[in-house]
Amino acid sequence: MNNVISRWPRIFAALLLVAVTGCAMASKQVLRGTGDLGVIIERAVGKVLIVETTTQTRITEVEGLGNLAHASLVYSRDERYAYVFGREGGLSKVDMLKGTLVKRIVQSGNSIGGAISQDGRLVAVSNYKPGGVKVFSSDTLELVADIPAAYGNDGELSKVIGLVDAPGQRFIFTLWDAGEIWIADMHNPSKPEITKFKDIGKFPYDALITPDGRYYIAGLFGEDGLVKLDLWNLEAGVERIMPGYGRGEKKMPVYKMPHLEGWAAAGDMMLVPAIGRHEVLIINQRNWKEAGRIAVHGQPVFVMARPDGRQVWVNFAFPHNDTIQVIDVPTQRIVKTLKPGKAVLHMEFTPRGEDVWLSVRDEDRVDVYDTATFTRKTSMPADKPSGIFFTSRAHKIGL
């Protein structure tokens, strides 16, 4: 007994040492969330930057993702992982907290984008070559299902665009060459149930799903107009929206295909880019009729609403891609024209819209603008930046 008591100081000292080093080790591993993180694609060098929107800083970079031309990504529902879709068919899983590449596979010859399923377990990639959709486990990136986009009598494969997730554990996508919309029900992941809608129109170039997950809308390149599918009423089939919006006038050349993802909605109004016209079209979602159009600086590429829907920011195709215009939605007027620099490729709003981040490719810079004052708050260097994606996308249908 005496022995133990006489040892007390030593035991105490040892315990204290363990406790102190334990604390020191714990403080090295700072706990943090991912809700204010994002990824910026450096398209030419196969690298992504992980950034933080609270302090507007770069945290780290992740290399080895291959060709990232036209790259996009989706987030896991815990906002921990980004699934990056590269042009040469690469699918990369990036750990946002560790700043590491978890896994990378090359799943096709040429791909365009992807989506994550409602339950977060499946990641789908839309491919140009071979045309179709491949579905992977979000956990392991193992192939779960292969859906070749075969059409016509000789089973030719179509390029696939406009892939989104939809409620009911479904993926929806559009066939560029075939002019078809397909719905893949993934309840049985290895045996997707496909519903096809044919003859929707000529050369659908991109598509979107409304944030409530009800309407799937594809834009047409080969004709004036858009098509809509009401997912609450599939029996009605596809319906045309704004047919002939070009009024038979000759189209202007389109030097970059517009995007419908990141579409804009404010109340009942939906704003989309026109094709071959320097206009933003306004569609009234109550009756799906034209509610106006706004003349803009060039061929719009992204028409994106600030999260509160009051402002819509528009960027443009070459040769007008040094400009951004801001539309005030209630008055349908342009309230600001900005010239951030050469080749503004993408915009992303912070989750509640106080800032917008712009990638200025040819200036090798990402700028952060205050959306209330239109002033540049800061910028950071980035190597030929293109897409900017914040983790708040993780919980939005269609993103």
Partner 1 sequence: MHKYLNKLKLKPEYGLILAFIIFVPGLSVFAQEQAISDSRQKELKHLLVQDCGSCHGLTMEGGLGPPLLAVDMVEKPKEWLRQVILDGIPDTAMPPWRPFVNEAEADWLVNLLQKGLSNE
**Using CA atoms, how far apart are residues 253 and 336, in angstroms rounded to an integer?**
25
Interaction of residue 365 with partner 1, rule CB under 8 A: no
Comparing CB distances to partner 1, the nearer of 171 and 176 is 176
Structure tokens at 244: 């002939």
- What binding mask, one character per residue, do residues 5-34 give for partner 1 by CB under 8 A, x or -? ------------------------------
Interaction of residue 374 with partner 1, rule CB under 8 A: no
Residues 258-317 that bind partner 1 (CB under 8 A): none
| Residue 254 phi, psi (nearest 5) | -110, 110
What single-letter DSSP state applies at residue 234? G
Interaction of residue 43 with partner 1, rule CB under 8 A: yes
Give which of 355, 397, 389 is closest to 372, Cα–Cα. 355
Which residue's entry shows tokens 């040429």? 110
Comparing CB distances to partner 1, the nearer of 40 and 254 is 254
Instruction: Tell me how far, at minimum, the Cβ of 256 lies from partner 1, in Å.
Output: 5
Which residues, including other chains, have CB under 8 Å from residue 289's CB and lie 6 or more apart? 242, 283
CB-based contact 335:295 (threshold 8 Å): no
CB-based contact 162:208 (threshold 8 Å): yes
**What is the CB neighbour count within 10 angstroms for residue 120?**
17
Interaction of residue 70 with partner 1, rule CB under 8 A: yes
Calculate Rg over the CA atoms of the chain: 24
Comparing CB distances to partner 1, the nearer of 202 and 377 is 202
Interaction of residue 382 with partner 1, rule CB under 8 A: no
Residue among 61, 88, 230, 354 that touches partner 1 (CB under 8 A): 88
- Cross-strand bridge partners of residue 346: 359
Judged by CB under 8 A, the stretch of 62-70, 180-188, 190-198, 229-237 that binds partner 1 is 62-70
Which residues, including other chains, have CB under 8 Å from residue 196's CB and lie 6 or more apart? 180, 181, 182, 183
Residues 106-145 that bind partner 1 (CB under 8 A): 110, 112, 128-129
Residue among 28, 31, 253, 287 that touches partner 1 (CB under 8 A): 253
| Contacting residues toward partner 1, per CB under 8 A | 43-44, 67, 69-70, 87-88, 110, 112, 128-129, 159, 161, 176, 203, 205, 221-222, 253-257, 318-319, 343, 361-362
